[in-house]
Each structure stands twice: as structure tokens, then as C-alpha cells.
Amino acid sequence: MGLSHPHPDELQMATVLHALSDPQRLRIVRILAGDPAPRRCGSFDLDITKSTLTHHFRILREAGLIDQREEGTARLNSLRRGDLDRRFPGLLDAVLAGAPGPVAASV
């Protein structure tokens, strides 16, 4: 069975914001936004174990932020940009534009 993804109309602002409020997940979303090509879960360089990765990807998927498609033994992740932009216009852009750290990001 295909992983359950929330319908675009069911996305909750609070849930989306919560999914984005973790630094690791924020990083994942940034990476996905930086390159439109779907990515394998393992292709994100995040100093955490595989099980923790799986956990974060599930949170992102269940919040409606990413789409996970099974492809052989891998799982391809992509941002649900269209759905997000339709439901919460400007939100993703604002989050992605936000400086990753303290204002020193301009270094």
C-alpha cells in the first residue's frame, strides 16, 4: 500500500509549522527546495541515525510537506510545493528565505 499522504485540503497550519520547527527537518526541507529532483532518504547529510531519519521523514510526510514515492528499495522524497503554495500562499517561500541561523547567515 502506498504511504498515506494528507489531502491538500486537510493540511493544518499548526501541524505544518510544527513539522518545520525542528532544525533537522528544516534542513531537509531546505535541501529539497534547493533541487527539484526527488531525493533518497539517505542522501541528506544529517548527523543522525537511520531510524531518526525515518522518524523525521514520517513527520514531514504526515504534515503534508513532502511526498514519498516508493521506488524499488528506495524512497524518493520531494517537496509538495504546489499543494503548500495553494493552501498557504507564501509560507514556504518565507520559511525558505529565512536565515538558517542567527543573522550572521550573511557571512
Partner DNA sequence: TCGATAGTACGACGAGCATCGTACCACAAA
Partner DNA sequence: TTTGTGGTACGATGCTCGTCGTACTATCGA
30 or 76: CB nearest a copy of itself:
30
Residue 33 binding target from a copy of itself, DNA, none, CB below 5 to 8 Å by type: none
Q: Which does 34 bind (CB under 5 to 8 A by kind): a copy of itself, DNA, none?
A: none
Dig out the grid coordinates for 88 from the structure: 498557504
Question: Does 14 engage in binding with a copy of itself (CB under 8 A)?
Answer: yes
74-79: strand order across its sheet: 39-40, 74-79, 66-71
Distance in Å, CB of 81 to DNA, minimum: 20
Amino acid at site 6: P
C-alpha grid cell for residue 52?
531518526
Question: Could you tell me which stretch among 21-29, 45-53, 54-62, 66-74 binds a copy of itself (CB under 8 A)?
Answer: 21-29
Q: Is 12 in the site for DNA (CB under 7 A)?
A: no
> Would you state the cell numbers that stand for residue 71, as one nine-digit string?
521506488
Residue 17 half-sphere exposure toward CB, CA atoms < 13 A: 6
